[in-house]
Amino acid sequence: MCGLAGFLGEPVPGGEQGALLERMITRLQHRGPDGYGFHVEPGVGLAHARLSIIDLATGEQPIRNADGSTWTVFNGEIFNYVELRATLEAQGHRFYTQSDTEVIVHLYDRYGDAFVEHLNGQFAIVVWDRRRRRLVLARDRVGIRPLFYRRSGGTFWFASEMKALFAAGTGQATLAPAALAQALTFWGTLDPDTVFEDVHSLPPGHLLTIESDGREHLRPWWDWDFDAATGAGARWRGRNRDQAVAELRELLVDAVRLQLRADVPVGAYLSGGLDSSGLVALARRFSDAPVRTFSVAFADAEFDERAHQQAMVAHLGCAHTTLEVDRAAIGAAFPRLIWHTETPVLRTAAVPLMLLSAAVRAAGYKVVLTGEGADEVFGGYDLFKEAKVRRFWARQRDSRWRPRLLERLYGYLANSPVRSPAFAQAFFGQGLEHLHRPVFAHVPRWTTSARALAFLSPQARAACADFDPLAFVEARLPVRAGTWSPLARDQYVEAHTLLSGYLLWSQGDRVAMANSVEGRVPYLDHRVIEFANALPAHWKLRGLTEKDILRRALADLLPPDIAARPKQPYRAPDAASFFVDGEPLDYVADLMSTDRLRATGLFDPVPAGRLFDKARAGRVAGFADNQAFVGILSTQLVDHLFVRGGGLP
């Protein structure tokens, strides 16, 4: 895992280009503290910050092919590089390192832009084709590793994080109100948008090419796909589900085996739920690698899962570290989180994960496996179950018992929306009129999140007056989505909003790389995704039992109560983390003051001030107010850190 940066064009006179690249890449030192590498020639510059994990001795980047006509800088891992290298060597290619990176230049030489289709990994790649004077940017299938770009002054710039673009002097960082509306609704912006004007994120599974004459071409090379509704599960029709369970088990074993490849020790996060417990059990059972585990625990009992974590540790007998996090630690570390995420967030849950990655690094580990992605791939979220009940209800809206099925959900919440049947029906009844729209499942969540938009200033509200979240997402859905099952559509939308825009970004890459730790996600191996997407929907969501086939595939590896444990989403204390005995932390008092809100110009100081007073009084309890408060505060921090260039408070 690493950081990369560079340019295509002539930004400054020759001798100063090296200094400019150095300024960009040193801003990413946290992503690659083990060394820097540069390649500069007329019209192009590549820079790399290395976190050495594979080929510790000779894996420095940039890396070239044999005659120096193809160069690359790369952030991520190619897990099948051993097999790719053997094939390429048999075809006559000669290697000068043992690095996974070197297969990229040889694959590009052999297959052109189709090189990316041969990769099993998580990556952001930049290839410089010197002969054709052509730059190629590629991003992994689901968006595990970031890659940003912008054009400025006739030069094309790229980097692993936006702060490196700003360090190059590519132009002022300016917040875009329309993009902010996305972030406050979907929990993140949808690629290629970012919250900054004229700064773009390469979408997952896409290639961007810049030709010698300046022409740019952005195209997809992979996407989530599902069997059409008329043939849902056609591959499995007439076959026993046990066959699918056995195939899934075999596939998961291989995904974990590949992702344990490293020349450094590999650890694992253990939440106490099915997904991470299953990964650790697979690693213990089917590899020779000792696996050290790490967990977050909370002083607040509502969020704490340590009893389940300890049960799993006792079951596996693995060495384990528990990091207990309290509200004070979250409040203190929040500004640093925003420095790394570079975007507003609606929850504080990423902070404990950032603190945990520091503990991982302090224990001498650079790599951890995480259970991220299983919920999107196998239908694990309450949202999928909630949508199933709401669809059932919407077809007979005057039914009195159908909506009561919702009472089976959200039992883990202290302030559960289903504690009152009347409230549950009012809350989940939102958007029933959208039954036939592909974004039906997401209406309650986005309606709750978008209440933050009510705090926008009149100017900001006017700038995003045309923002229709349902239509915005539907316009980005593939035509074929209309033939998919409802669960498939729900999974697709989830993968392209919450997963890529928040979980893999603010709660994934950024908080791990803040402490130079690489997270690996075996459930997002593309073979696992493609396998799961071909399954009948009811093998994933059976009644209201989520991830049924995954439970069956892992059952014999886990204690019975872990294998049967319902999904409990990972959460952390939100607005309460920013106050001590009713007094705000100093930076919170400053950023939420009337003067600072007015200076930023994005939020109306009057309603935002009322929300601040409510939070200070400890009366913010529901999702909507908590998310709005965290969203406003984090936006103020983005403005402070990147637009105004203020330091960390």
pLDDT of residue 412: 66
Task: Give this prediction's pTM.
Answer: 0.95
Q: By three-state DSSP, how is residue 356 classified?
A: helix
Q: Which residues contact 416 (CB under 8 A, 6 or more apart)?
A: 410
Cα–Cα dist 539/542, whole Å: 6
pLDDT higher than threshold 90 for residue 421: no
pLDDT tens track for 64-90: 999 999 999 999 999 999 999 999 999
Inter-residue contact 336 to 514 (CB < 8 Å): yes
pLDDT bucket at 92, cuts 50 / 70 / 90: very high
Look at residues 360, 362, 361, 333 and name the one whose alpha carbon lies nearest to residue 349: 333
Mean pLDDT of 549-576: 93
pLDDT higher than threshold 90 for residue 227: no
pLDDT higher than threshold 80 for residue 455: yes
Is residue 318 annotated as a catalytic residue, yes or no? no
pLDDT bucket at 467, cuts 50 / 70 / 90: very high
In three-state form (DSSP H/G/I as H, E/B as E, the rest C), the secondary structure along 521-560 is CHHHCHHHHHHHHCCCHHHHCECCECCHHHHHHHHHHCCH
Choice among 10-14, 58-62, 341-345 with the minimum mean pLDDT = 10-14
pLDDT higher than threshold 90 for residue 396: no
**Which residue in 2, 244, 504, 541 is the catalytic one?**
2
Q: Which residues contact 528 (CB under 8 A, 6 or more apart)?
A: 248, 251, 252, 255, 377, 522
pLDDT bucket at 414, cuts 50 / 70 / 90: low
pLDDT of residue 621: 80
Q: What is the mean pLDDT of the chain?
A: 93
Look at residues 121, 105, 101, 32 and name the one whose alpha carbon lies nearest to residue 68: 105
pLDDT higher than threshold 90 for residue 593: yes
In one-letter notation, the amino acid at residue 358 is A
Residue 516, by phi and psi: left (phi above 0), alpha (psi -120 to 50) or beta?
left
pLDDT bucket at 286, cuts 50 / 70 / 90: confident
- Residue 520 phi/psi, 5-degree rounding, is -120, 145
Mean pLDDT of 603-619: 97
Rg of the Cα atoms in the chain: 24
Mean pLDDT of 612-627: 93
Residue with tokens 């109100």: 177
pLDDT tens track for 177-208: 999 999 999 999 999 999 999 999 999 999 99
The two structure tokens encoding residue 373:
């992605």
pLDDT of residue 74: 95
pLDDT of residue 56: 81
Choice among 41-45, 167-171, 357-361, 628-632 with the minimum mean pLDDT = 167-171
pLDDT higher than threshold 80 for residue 415: no
pLDDT of residue 212: 95
Query: What is the maximal distance between C-alpha atoms in the chain?
Result: 75
CA 197 to chain centre: 21
pLDDT of residue 237: 77
In three-state form (DSSP H/G/I as H, E/B as E, the rest C), the secondary structure along 433-453 is HHCCCCCHHHHHHHHHHHHHH
Residue with tokens 């406050």: 184
pLDDT of residue 232: 57
pLDDT of residue 12: 78
pLDDT bucket at 404, cuts 50 / 70 / 90: confident
Inter-residue contact 630 to 591 (CB < 8 Å): no
pLDDT tens track for 247-276: 999 999 999 999 999 999 999 999 999 999
Q: Is 631 exposed, middle or buried (0-12, 13-18, 19+ CB in 10 A)?
A: buried
